[in-house]
Chains A and B, each alone.
Chain A
Amino acid sequence: MDSQIHKIHQQLVDKTITCTALVQEKLAQLEQNTHNTVNAMLNTMALDLAAKVDAKIANGETIGLLEGIPFGIKDVYMLQGTLATASSNLLKNYKSAYTATAIQNLLNAGAIPLVKENCDSFGHGSSSENTIFGAVKNAINPNLVGGGSSGGSAVNVAKDYTVFSIGGDTGGSIRQPAGYNNIYGLKPSYGRISRYGLMAYASSTDCVGPIAKSIEDIRIVLNVMSGKDIKDQTSYASAEITQAQISNSEDIKTVGYFKNFIESPAIDANIKTDFLQAIEKIKAKGIEVKALDFFESETLVSTYYTLAMAETASNLSRLDGTNYGNRIEGDALKETYSVTRSENFSEETKRRIVGGNQVLSQGFSDEIYLKGLALRDTISANFEDDFKNVDIILSPVTPNTPPKIGDSLKDPHAMYLSDAYTVGFSLGQLPTLTVPQGTATGLQITAAKQNDELVLKFANFLKDTI
């Protein structure tokens, strides 16, 4: 088992390292890094917490598995007393008044936050270039994008600056950067982890999730963050997933994949070949593989963006310089609102807010927004039917390898289409894990809603198979 968490835990218990030395080392790596992954360092808090862990160990007290483990937080989460900028000008100086439930659960378990991580502003982007902190550079090739929107989090994990990081995934924002940086990233079932304290982008698909270097670390962090929270009424109670439960995959008999994802003219030739080879290896293990029909990529992407833009237009309406954000004074209240928003939002955020207001406005809502909702229902129904016939759906994470820094900003429509393989599972609210195997940008493993355990189980199987 290649769990970083278990390894560091053992080193702390054996006193081969101190927590303070570990945290100092990681903080130094983060500060010196040239990948633009950092929005704010949390040195004081991290070192204080590390000293407490060291004192506990020195006193002979037992420490929990996550106690003293350093982690990163995408800069869209609240952590009381620290900046929460969403990588935006508007919230450049905004301080969290409270702590997100998922993050609080990690703090309660003793994990140590090191850094607020760079991302696309308000989660609006697939490359982590749409940020006031500079484009995040890919961990493997710094000329390429880090992926997005949780790009800083994925690069920090890939470079070992953090042991794990907490990303946010609305349409692929954990899975795609995990794929671009060859690590694991999980979007759990919608509602498994409370969204309280995560800045809302599109509330009906927003998910909190872990990014890490092993399935075991994903499992540990997922368990700690999961659970029903009175402050997010869409959250649900879930049972802990044990190591034993996911070690044997004998009950996975059938795997499906979407034919049109693979037959699409937009897919990179190598990603296609590698994906089909992975399928052959799975078949060779005696698992039945079924090619499934699914919606065209354009329909998936358009449905997702229609609904996500409508929701973000509504969610971001509070950012007006009066309730929140850097106010720029105008002659009157409405002028103040519009100057504040015009000057402080990025071009991509403005594009999405305007798109959202377009589809929500009278005369367009029936033709676009309501039809988008109906399409989403059809997509969800399609998934339900599929999971009557297969246990797992396997897909590439992206149609192509990461673009060069600068290219995505030139062509927003192409950037939207690059989310073709991730957005469908968001609309279905399904648990989906990126594994760094199979293709250059990994594979996605999806199971039926609330069946996150099966996803991890199949990931363990794949690790030994391909």
Chain B
Amino acid sequence: MTSEYLAVIVGMGVVTYVPRWFPLVFLTRRRLPLWLVEWLDFIPASILSALVVPYLITTGEPRHLDVLRPELFVAIPTFAFAVKTKSLAATVVVGMFLFWLAGMYLQ
């Protein structure tokens, strides 16, 4: 393991840990302003959607639109399954299975 790699993962660890740690230790004493709490409340839905949607309908470098990808075709039934079951583990398995099927028949 190179010292550069170790520095990178320690850096990643620190910037990941601090946002997890800071509110737990300090928020028991003070309250965030209400507007900030309400704003933060939209962050999970926003950030997960911002992570996933471009992956489904764009590709390449530089990026361009491509809506005919198996990633998107599989996402639709997988998303419907998640809405129906609300089960993380089952959704992961169903998504993988459908993507595997798509790989077999759509190539």
Do A and B truly interact?
no
B-binding residues in A (CB < 8 A) = none
